[in-house]
């Protein structure tokens, strides 16, 4: 059984899944950048009390599932989203949707995905893919960060859908409840909603762990890591930051590039608001994140070992926070009426 679905590669898993699931309804207008921006996908959080792979929980994106949910909510599209305690119930529900011709999004862990290169397999459960059909014991899978569609056996799919640990997916499945056509006006209003939500998330969440405040705080903390943690552990913490930035989806720099592309596309729906001009600042931020990743890599690989090197790394993040803060403050001032 195969649904009417076309695999298309994307830069990031969830925004790719979202745009692919909404492609037919929007006649191709919901691109990956629009899905990412409408879903307010750009984020930063550093939660040291939560550990992932023995490092602090550092995120450059919203929680898994939020991009799809927010995008559909902003577009006034009802959705179905379910988790399961029973593996049998999860597979039964999946089969029922595929028999109806409905492709579905699934949250999975990456460690046991057989088509992932070994160097990219570690215990991270926030990955997303589309299941769009089955052939006996094989499921047809569209993983948007892969060039081609692939298949997973029923046990292989069950294993990643019920991966254990932080962000355990518990068989999560999601898809649009209807196939009503999406209008340009819906997209226009959803863009406004997405920008406002992202502005709030990056500027107004209380505390110092999230948004631009979280980026700056992390920069100041990095300057203390050498004395506080020692060179080996501090290097591992920086390796965690780079892993989350560059290897999970598109990470810090890549997400900024996607957001810049979103603002460029949004400018066509909201001409005269200066969105395309603001997009260049997010491209600059993406370049700065990539430069910071090179510095961090030099530290955890042992090429850079002094306090001055850690100070330089911290200063990179403090400077990034300043650039992103100014960009979001400019967006906040946008007059939408």
Predicted confidence (pLDDT) per residue in 194-204, tens digit: 999 999 999 99
- CA dist 87 to 10, 50, 132, 271, 334, Å? 29, 27, 19, 49, 47
Domain with 7, as residue range(s), is 1-28+79-177
* 70 falls within a domain: no
Per-residue confidence band for 243, with pLDDT thresholds at 50, 70 and 90: confident
Q: 306 forms bridges with which residues in the sheet?
A: none
Residues 205, 162 share a domain? no
Question: Domain boundary at 151, 177, 203, which?
Answer: 177
CB 136 within 8 A of CB 20: no
More confident residue, 302 or 278: 278
CB 144 within 8 A of CB 5: no
Per-residue confidence band for 247, with pLDDT thresholds at 50, 70 and 90: low
Question: Domain boundary at 157, 177, 197, which?
Answer: 177
Ranges 191-195, 230-234, 248-252, most confident: 191-195
Task: Kindly state the tokens that stand for 169.
Answer: 């997916």
Question: Domain boundary at 177, 201, 222, which?
Answer: 177
Q: What is the pLDDT of residue 1?
A: 67
Per-residue confidence band for 117, with pLDDT thresholds at 50, 70 and 90: confident
Q: Which residue has the tokens 């397999």?
A: 121
Per-residue confidence band for 244, with pLDDT thresholds at 50, 70 and 90: confident
CB 276 within 8 A of CB 263: yes
Residues 3, 89 share a domain? yes
Residues 148, 227 share a domain? no
Per-residue confidence band for 55, with pLDDT thresholds at 50, 70 and 90: confident
Average pLDDT, the chain: 91
CATH number at residue 104: 3.90.70
For 173: left if phi > 0, alpha if psi spans -120 to 50, otherwise beta; the answer is beta
Residues 212, 125 share a domain? no
* 49 falls within a domain: no
Residues 90, 3 share a domain? yes
Give the predicted TM-score (pTM) of the model: 0.92
More confident residue, 121 or 104: 104
Q: Which range has the worst mean pLDDT, 5-14, 114-123, 327-336?
A: 114-123
Helix or strand holding residue 251 (H, E): helix 251-269
Single out the residue of 3, 73, 29 nearest to residue 182, CA to CA: 29
Task: Kindly state the tokens that stand for 326.
Answer: 């100014």
Q: What is the pLDDT of residue 166?
A: 79
Q: Say what angle helices 211-229 and 184-203 make with each other, to 10 degrees.
A: 40
How many domains, in total, are found in the chain? Answer: 2
Average pLDDT over residues 40-57: 82
* 74 falls within a domain: no
């Amino acid at each position: 059984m195969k649904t009417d679905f076309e695999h298309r590669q994307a830069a990031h898993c969830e925004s790719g899944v979202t745009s692919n699931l909404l492609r037919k309804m929007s006649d191709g207008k919901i691109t990956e950048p629009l899905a990412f921006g409408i879903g307010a996908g750009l984020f930063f959080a550093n939660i040291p009390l939560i550990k992932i792979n023995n490092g602090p929980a550092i995120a450059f994106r919203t929680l898994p599932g939020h991009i799809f949910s927010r995008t559909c909510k902003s577009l006034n599209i009802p959705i179905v989203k379910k988790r399961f305690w029973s593996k049998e119930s999860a597979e039964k529900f999946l089969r029922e949707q595929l028999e109806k011709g409905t492709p579905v999004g699934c949250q999975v862990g990456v460690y046991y995905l057989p088509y992932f290169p070994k160097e990219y397999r570690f215990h991270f459960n926030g990955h997303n893919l589309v299941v769009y059909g089955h052939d006996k014991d094989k499921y047809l899978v569209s993983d948007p960060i892969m060039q081609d569609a692939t298949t997973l056996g029923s046990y292989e799919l069950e294993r990643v859908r019920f991966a254990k640990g932080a962000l355990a997916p518990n068989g999560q499945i999601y898809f649009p409840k209807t196939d009503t056509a999406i209008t340009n006006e819906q997209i226009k209003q959803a863009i406004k909603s997405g920008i406002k939500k992202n502005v709030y998330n990056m500027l107004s969440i209380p505390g110092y762990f999230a948004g631009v405040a979280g980026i700056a705080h992390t920069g100041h903390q990095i300057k203390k890591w050498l004395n506080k943690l020692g060179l080996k552990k501090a290097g591992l913490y920086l390796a965690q930051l780079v892993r989350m930035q560059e290897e999970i989806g598109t990470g810090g720099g890549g997400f900024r590039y996607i957001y810049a592309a979103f603002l460029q596309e949004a400018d066509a729906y909201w001409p005269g608001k200066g969105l395309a001009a603001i997009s260049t600042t997010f491209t600059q931020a993406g370049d700065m994140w990539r430069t910071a990743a090179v510095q961090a890599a030099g530290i955890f690989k042992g090429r850079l070992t002094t306090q001055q090197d850690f100070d330089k790394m911290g200063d990179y993040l403090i400077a990034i926070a300043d650039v992103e803060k100014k960009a979001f403050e400019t967006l906040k001032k946008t007059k939408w009426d």
